[in-house]
Structure 1
């Protein structure tokens, strides 16, 4: 299988430090809608709100139940992976500083029959709120729309 899935596309965009704009343009030409942003907090609700706001502001999702619901579950799934199962930050003295990507499009590159999906990837640092006491983490959520 030479085609990339929406999750791998979102992961590449979240973790890329160099050629992100070319990669983004390449997939936008294949009808993916892409946004990359940053968030940081000791409050998981603020990270969820930042991602939901970006998705709405950038017109990745429209204001309807199915799209908002799919985005919400993709975020929670990604946050669960990023936090390693316990979606808690400040409550257990953890902070997060992360890059997030939101990708909307077909599940498999160049396969319109695979349907309309949304992927959210979180990549960054998590750990004690003291500098030098954090480590890398990644989480991904994918949901059908």
Structure 2
């Protein structure tokens, strides 16, 4: 198994524009990842968007509880980062516009450490008023 810095890669994938990402596409052929976008005042929609993307792209197996569970915790940890420790969006009258990525890999040289999953968010958060938002980033990593 090859060691992969899944957190760093997830942050890059979430923050790079499509044009910037094209420069790295050949190097990403060996990596299991997916990307997506979501904008909402509803945290459940953010969670659902990431889960749906990970399942559709084969990063987790829907029938394996441990994989869904690991993804869920990585999503929540990432949300805590982008919301500054208070995992609430609409309840606090704020909205998000995010790009996200999910990366699955082996961040340790020792094969016994197994696979891990990283979820990164990059985008904006703020009052639901155009121009009142600011940048935010969040990262969550969990073992599968």
Segments of structure 2 that go 5 or more residues without pairing to the other structure are none
Segments of structure 1 that go 5 or more residues without pairing to the other structure are none
Q: Does 1:27 align with 2:28?
A: yes
SS in 1 for 2:77: helix
Quick check: 2:82–2:137 contact (8 Å CA) kept in 1?
A: yes
Q: Does 1:102 align with 2:102?
A: yes
Distance 2:66 2:4 in 1: 25
Distance 2:106 2:130 in 1: 39
Tell me the equivalent position of 1:91.
91
Tell me the equivalent position of 2:80.
80
Residue correspondence of structure 1 range 1-20 to structure 2 within 5 A: 5-17=5-17, 18-20=19-21
SS in 2 for 1:19: helix
Distance 1:25 1:50 in 2: 26
**Deviation string, structure 1 residues 110-142 (Cα, Å, up to 9, x no partner):** x46252110000000000000110000000000
Distance 1:5 1:88 in 2: 29
Quick check: 1:13–1:24 contact (8 Å CA) kept in 2?
A: no
The 3 A distance-change label for structure 1 pair 35 and 25 is: farther
Quick check: 2:4–2:106 contact (8 Å CA) kept in 1?
A: no
Quick check: 1:100–1:123 contact (8 Å CA) kept in 2?
A: yes
The root-mean-square deviation of aligned C-alpha atoms, in Å, is 1.6
Q: Which moved more, 1:33-42 or 1:3-12?
A: 3-12
SS in 2 for 1:46: helix
The two structures have a TM-score, normalised by structure 2, of: 0.90
Q: Does 1:39 align with 2:38?
A: yes
- Give the count of matched residue pairs: 139
Tell me the equivalent position of 2:115.
116
Quick check: 1:6–1:119 contact (8 Å CA) kept in 2?
A: yes
Distance 2:38 2:47 in 1: 9
